[in-house]
A and B are shown apart, each in its own frame.
Chain A
Amino acid sequence: MNARTTRVLQCSAVLVAAGLVLTACGSSGGDSSSGQSKSPSFTGRGPITFAAAKDSSGVVQKVMDSWNAQHPKEKVTFVQLPADVNQQRQQMIQNAETKSDAYTVLWMDVVWTSEFAAHQWIDQLPADQFPLDKMLKPVVETGKYRGNLYAVPQSSDGGVLYYRTDLLKKAGISAAPTTWAEMKADCAKVKQLPEAKDLDCYAGQFQKYEGLTVNFAEAVNSAGGVITAASGKPDVDTPAAKKGLDFLVDSFKDGTIPKEAITYQEEEGRQAFQSGKLIFLRNWPYVYSLAEKSKVAGKFAVAPLPGLTGAGSSSLGGHNVALSSFAKNKATALDFMKFFTSEASAATFLKDASMAPPYGSLYDDAALVKQYPYLPVLKKSILGAVPRPRVVQYGDASSAIQQEAYAALNGDKSSAQALKDLQSELQKSAAQ
Chain B
Amino acid sequence: MVDTDIPSGAAAGTPGGPVGRRSAPVKASKRAWATAASGRTAALLVSPTLLVLTVVVLYPTVMAFKESLYGTKGLDPKTGFISDTEPFVGLQNYADIFGEAGDRFWNAFWNTTFFTVVTVGLETLIGVSMALIMHKAFSGRALIRASILIPWAVPTAISGLLWRWIFNSDGIANALIGRQVLWTTEGFHAKVAVIIAEVWKTSPFIGLLVLAGLQVIPKEVYEAARLDGAGPLAQFWRITLPLVKPALLVAVLFRCLDALRMFDLPYLLIGAQKNSVETLSMLAQNEASNVRFGPAAAYAVLLFLYVFLIALGFVRLLGTDLVGDVGGPKAKRKNKLRRTAVSGGAEASA
B330 contacts the other chain (Cβ, under 8 Å)?
no
How many of chain A's residues have a CB under 8 angstroms from any CB in B?
A: 50
A208 contacts the other chain (Cβ, under 8 Å)?
yes
Alpha-carbon distance between A410 and B84 when the two chains are bound, in angstroms: 41
The residue on A at minimum CB distance from B30 is A1
Alpha-carbon distance between A259 and B74 when the two chains are bound, in angstroms: 42
Alpha-carbon distance between A10 and B51 when the two chains are bound, in angstroms: 13
The residue on B at minimum CB distance from A403 is B273
Q: Which residues of B contact A11 (CB under 8 A)?
A: 43, 46-47, 50
Alpha-carbon distance between A4 and B74 when the two chains are bound, in angstroms: 51
By the criterion CB–CB under 8 Å, are A262 and B182 in contact? yes
B125 CB to nearest A CB, Å: 31
A residues 204-244 near B (Cβ < 8 Å) are 207-209
The residue on A at minimum CB distance from B83 is A35
B75 contacts the other chain (Cβ, under 8 Å)?
yes
Alpha-carbon distance between A274 and B168 when the two chains are bound, in angstroms: 17
A193 contacts the other chain (Cβ, under 8 Å)?
no
Q: Which residues of B contact A3 (CB under 8 A)?
A: 34, 36, 39
Alpha-carbon distance between A345 and B87 when the two chains are bound, in angstroms: 45
B294 CB to nearest A CB, Å: 12
Alpha-carbon distance between A403 and B273 when the two chains are bound, in angstroms: 8
Looking at the complex, which of B54-62, B89-97, B252-260 is the stretch in contact with chain A? B54-62
Q: Which residues of A contact B230 (CB under 8 A)?
A: none
Looking at the complex, which of A350-358, A392-400, A414-422 is the stretch in contact with chain B? A392-400
Given the known interface contacts A11-B47, A16-B54, the answer about A23 and B59 at a Cβ–Cβ threshold of 8 Å is yes
A residues 1-23 near B (Cβ < 8 Å) are 1, 3-5, 7-8, 10-12, 15-16, 18-20, 22-23
By the criterion CB–CB under 8 Å, are B54 and A410 in contact? no
Given the known interface contacts A5-B3, A93-B291, the answer about A119 and B54 at a Cβ–Cβ threshold of 8 Å is no
B57 CB to nearest A CB, Å: 10
B343 contacts the other chain (Cβ, under 8 Å)?
no
A residues 236-276 near B (Cβ < 8 Å) are 259-260, 262-263, 268
A402 contacts the other chain (Cβ, under 8 Å)?
yes
How many of chain B's residues have a CB under 8 angstroms from any CB in A?
A: 44
A169 contacts the other chain (Cβ, under 8 Å)?
no
Alpha-carbon distance between A118 and B75 when the two chains are bound, in angstroms: 8
Q: Which residues of B contact A20 (CB under 8 A)?
A: 62
B232 CB to nearest A CB, Å: 47
Given the known interface contacts A27-B66, A120-B82, the answer about A86 and B50 at a Cβ–Cβ threshold of 8 Å is no
B29 contacts the other chain (Cβ, under 8 Å)?
no
Q: Which residues of B contact A50 (CB under 8 A)?
A: none
Q: A7: which of B43, B58, B59 is its contact (CB, 8 Å)? A: B43
Alpha-carbon distance between A432 and B54 when the two chains are bound, in angstroms: 36
Given the known interface contacts A19-B58, A208-B271, the answer about A7 and B42 at a Cβ–Cβ threshold of 8 Å is yes
Alpha-carbon distance between A1 and B55 when the two chains are bound, in angstroms: 27
A402 CB to nearest B CB, Å: 7
B218 CB to nearest A CB, Å: 34
Q: Which residues of A contact B335 (CB under 8 A)?
A: none
Q: Which residues of A contact B186 (CB under 8 A)?
A: 208, 406, 410
Given the known interface contacts A12-B50, A208-B271, A395-B290, the answer about A260 and B66 at a Cβ–Cβ threshold of 8 Å is no
B192 CB to nearest A CB, Å: 15
Q: Which residues of A contact B16 (CB under 8 A)?
A: none
Q: Which residues of A contact B271 (CB under 8 A)?
A: 207-209
Alpha-carbon distance between A104 and B286 when the two chains are bound, in angstroms: 26
Q: Which residues of B contact A260 (CB under 8 A)?
A: 169-170, 180, 182
Q: Which residues of A contact B43 (CB under 8 A)?
A: 7-8, 10-11
B235 CB to nearest A CB, Å: 42
B301 CB to nearest A CB, Å: 15
Q: Which residues of B contact A396 (CB under 8 A)?
A: 290
Q: Which residues of A contact B272 (CB under 8 A)?
A: 209
By the criterion CB–CB under 8 Å, are B54 and A18 in contact? yes
Q: Counting chain A CB atoms within 10 Å of each CB, which of B34, B66, B273 scores highest?
A: B273
A399 CB to nearest B CB, Å: 5
Q: Which residues of B contact A4 (CB under 8 A)?
A: 34, 39, 42
Alpha-carbon distance between A90 and B285 when the two chains are bound, in angstroms: 11
By the criterion CB–CB under 8 Å, are A7 and B289 in contact? no
Q: Which residues of B contact A89 (CB under 8 A)?
A: 289
Q: Which residues of A contact B55 (CB under 8 A)?
A: 19, 22
Q: Counting chain A CB atoms within 10 Å of each CB, which of B34, B40, B289 scores highest?
A: B289
Q: Which residues of B contact A133 (CB under 8 A)?
A: none
A220 CB to nearest B CB, Å: 20
By the criterion CB–CB under 8 Å, are B274 and A393 in contact? no
B185 contacts the other chain (Cβ, under 8 Å)?
yes
Alpha-carbon distance between A395 and B292 when the two chains are bound, in angstroms: 11
Alpha-carbon distance between A1 and B168 when the two chains are bound, in angstroms: 61
Alpha-carbon distance between A372 and B212 when the two chains are bound, in angstroms: 63
Q: Which residues of A contact B349 (CB under 8 A)?
A: none
Q: Which residues of B contact A8 (CB under 8 A)?
A: 3, 42-43, 46
By the criterion CB–CB under 8 Å, are A15 and B59 in contact? no
A7 CB to nearest B CB, Å: 5
The residue on B at minimum CB distance from A277 is B170
Q: Which residues of A contact B33 (CB under 8 A)?
A: none
Interface flags, B283-308, vs A, CB<8A=1, else 0: 00010011100000000000000000
B219 contacts the other chain (Cβ, under 8 Å)?
no
Alpha-carbon distance between A209 and B286 when the two chains are bound, in angstroms: 13
By the criterion CB–CB under 8 Å, are A22 and B46 in contact? no
Q: Counting chain B CB atoms within 10 Å of each CB, which of A11, A33, A410 scores highest?
A: A11
Q: Which residues of A contact B36 (CB under 8 A)?
A: 3
Given the known interface contacts A120-B82, A392-B82, the answer about A26 and B63 at a Cβ–Cβ threshold of 8 Å is yes
B138 contacts the other chain (Cβ, under 8 Å)?
no
B188 contacts the other chain (Cβ, under 8 Å)?
no
A205 CB to nearest B CB, Å: 13
Q: Which residues of A contact B39 (CB under 8 A)?
A: 3-4, 7
B332 contacts the other chain (Cβ, under 8 Å)?
no
- What are the 7 closest A-B residue pairs judged by CB atoms, nearest first? A260-B169, A395-B290, A11-B43, A146-B80, A15-B54, A7-B43, A19-B54
- Please, could you name 21 A-B residue pairs with CB atoms under 8 Å apart, sorted by A? A1-B31, A3-B34, A8-B3, A15-B50, A19-B58, A19-B62, A22-B55, A23-B62, A31-B85, A33-B84, A118-B80, A119-B81, A120-B82, A208-B271, A259-B180, A260-B170, A263-B184, A263-B185, A399-B273, A399-B286, A406-B186
| Additional pairs, 7, CB under 8 Å, beyond known A16-B58, A396-B290 | A8-B43, A20-B62, A208-B273, A393-B290, A395-B290, A399-B273, A399-B286
